[in-house]
Amino acid sequence: MTILDAEKVYGEAPIFKEPKIIGEWVLWLEQRPYEKGRTTALIRSWRQKDLAPQELTPYPSDLRTKIHGYGGAPLTATLNGSDLILTWVDNYDECLWTRTWSSEKDNKQSSAFKLIPKIQPIRLSKTHKHFLAGGVIDLKKKIWIGLMENEQGDHIVSYSLNKTDQNPKFIYSSQGLLGYLALNCKDRKLVWVEWQNTSMPWDLNELKLAKLDEKGNIINIVNLNGEYLKYTEKISFFNPIWSDTGDLFVAEDSSGWWNITQIKTDSNNSSITISQHQWAIQAEIAFPQWVLGMSSFSCVGDDVVGAFAREGVWTLALFQKNGSIQIIDQPFTDFSGLHSHQNRVVAIASSPKISEGMFEIDLSDKSWDHTPASSFGLDPTEISIGESFWFIGSNEENVHAWYYPPLNRQILLPPLLVKSHSGPTGMARCGLDLEVQFWTSRGWAVVDVNYGGSSGFGRQYRDRLIGNWGVIDVLDCTKAAQSLIASGKADKDHIAIVGSSASGFTALGCLISTDIFKFGACKYAVTDLIGMANSTHRFEEFYLDYLIGNLETDYEKYIKRSPIENVKSINMPVVLFHGLKDKVIPSDQSIAIKDELLKRGIPVQINLFENEGHGFKDGKIKVDVLKKTEAFFRQYLTF
């Protein structure tokens, strides 16, 4: 049995993001750990997986946005005849840039075809204290329309594609937050999602529709929640998109599940018809909107192609205009970044045996290709397949997890590694995770817990976490371990827990509240809830009101659940990792936990990284963290 090296897990493999079909090409973002996390744009011909892609934004360009703290959607692309137009936000100066390439048809006969730059990159925006993202290109007016966040709030702004160093033209402003802008070029309509910072977008938001006049100004704004849905409960919209015929499709969860709704409008938005629940399923076709640029469905003529999650598994399907749902036969069970053009679909996809990569499928004949992000592949016989695992968790409710049995089992009862997703409103994915395989190849069992509050299981499951962060998640992770111990799948004396950011908070909560876990590892963990409530950015300003309660009236809950206030209850060895450039969770918090544990003689190790922020991006650092975690745990395996 091969033991998987840390270098194979994180070394050279890039991360694919936000793929798009542009004419005859596939365009995507590639985050490169071997370039310290720099993100660039690549393009190649559709389904030509053996053709080397062309890099359009070479070093030092770094395509990344900082809007709402978490960013997303830095790149916009369109075809103008045979010319490719790109706009992007560069992390270097946080400005908007554009460039045009020629794609003459005569050149396509060559296997060495390259797009030919027509102009040098142009910086469209002035440097300023604002963040841009989520743009669309209006070819008729030759402008970029996108989102801006500044000290006054969020705005929809535009820039000419032909001028340099411009001030933005403000066409809409909100005291709240904006996302998921989509343009209907044919009818000159804009749609977007808007929410107040007193709620998170997956909890409560609004869908707004407007016209663009001939001067590029917004008119005839319609709030589709109050005026047309007449739905009094909380509702969340996700990923509004336009079909070629001008219909609007959006995911919304008025049924308790994120399902697709179709909205028909006339040219002036005066007549609006909404068709809800025509594709009603007890499954989710959306994600929590932590970043911009996410997509789980796209239009194919009058139909919609999308991926939905049921019991933790994603399924690709065609949602047909007659109301039927046709499952598309293919081997993948985890999808993100789905986009289509005509009958062609692209997405980031993986399965329990196939690592994440670019998935391209032609719906006319169902033929497909998959290009893994990593050239490294595991022997299918040496992969631990996740088993769907339901157990009784907090409040005697059913909770889901993925259990991965050890491959290299040298003893009857294996050590168990408990992990949970971050967010905390995230989801344990079911595709091939090489970090999980790192542990199972060493004889560990792994359980990845979808604790109460996770997405993918409907709003009721998601709402379990309201007021209960630090309680429900901690108890569900604890009960997952207890259940596996009781069923003879784990050694009660060798139970470890790991976490990062929000899941680091959960991991520390587990170490504080129970002695089941014998050692733990945390990366840039949330530790100080009061400090977080007083200093966090706009996007999450009131998130803790949802997760914990009001700071003034529920102050004792903040103290009781803050790991930094309860380090005295940790009596197990802990290894900590933190970036010194972390602006979300200051590294001082991990250092303070280390100091307190040292005072009491509890084994502790801390590793600080000078050039890392919140969420490590450098591949070498990721390898180092994994190696040091495994070496630290190995010290306490006594068999």
Q: What is the pLDDT of residue 107?
A: 47
The CA radius of gyration of the chain, in Å to the nearest whole number, is 24
| Domain-located, residue 515 | yes
Q: Are residues 431 and 558 in the same domain?
A: yes
Q: What is the CATH number of the domain that holds 485?
A: 3.40.50.1820
| Whole-angstrom distance, CA of residue 546 vs CA of residue 556 | 16
Q: Are residues 566 and 423 in the same domain?
A: yes
| Domain-located, residue 427 | yes
Among 291, 316, 343, the domain-final residue is 291
Residue 446, C-beta contacts closer than 8 angstroms, at least 6 positions apart? 384, 403, 404, 416, 417, 418, 419, 436, 439, 440
Answer for the pair 447, 402: CB distance below 8 angstroms, yes or no: yes
Q: Are residues 283 and 403 in the same domain?
A: no
| Domain-located, residue 156 | no
**What does DSSP say about strands 259-265 and 75-80: parallel, antiparallel, or unpaired?**
unpaired
Residue 174, C-beta contacts closer than 8 angstroms, at least 6 positions apart? 153, 154, 155, 194
Q: Are residues 287 and 388 in the same domain?
A: no
Helix or strand run (H / E) with residue 588: helix 587-599
Among 259, 291, 323, the domain-final residue is 291
Q: What is the pLDDT of residue 628?
A: 97
**What does DSSP say about strands 445-450 and 519-523: parallel, antiparallel, or unpaired?**
unpaired
Neighbours of 185 (CB within 10 A): 16
Q: Is the N-terminal amide bond of 58 cis, ω within 30° of 0?
A: no
Give the distance from CA 290 to its chain's centroid.
6
Residue 270, C-beta contacts closer than 8 angstroms, at least 6 positions apart? none
CA atoms within 13 A on the CB side of 188: 15
Total of domains in the chain: 2
Neighbours of 196 (CB within 10 A): 13
Q: Are residues 273 and 421 in the same domain?
A: no
- Kindly state the tokens that stand for 571: 């009596």
| Domain-located, residue 523 | yes
Neighbours of 227 (CB within 10 A): 9
Structural domain of 186: 177-291
Q: Are residues 390 and 508 in the same domain?
A: yes
| Domain-located, residue 154 | no
| Domain-located, residue 526 | yes
| Whole-angstrom distance, CA of residue 245 vs CA of residue 264 | 10
- Kindly state the tokens that stand for 369: 């290709």
Q: What is the pLDDT of residue 112?
A: 52
Which sign does the torsion angle of CA 292, 298, 43, 615 carry? positive
Local structure of 37: helix, strand or coil? coil
The CA-atom distances, in angstroms, between 470 and each of 21, 59, 137, 460, 619 are 42, 42, 43, 18, 31
Among 245, 264, 291, the domain-final residue is 291
Q: Are residues 573 and 435 in the same domain?
A: yes
Amino acid at 305: V
Q: Are residues 287 and 386 in the same domain?
A: no
Residues lower than pLDDT 50 in the chain: 106-108, 110
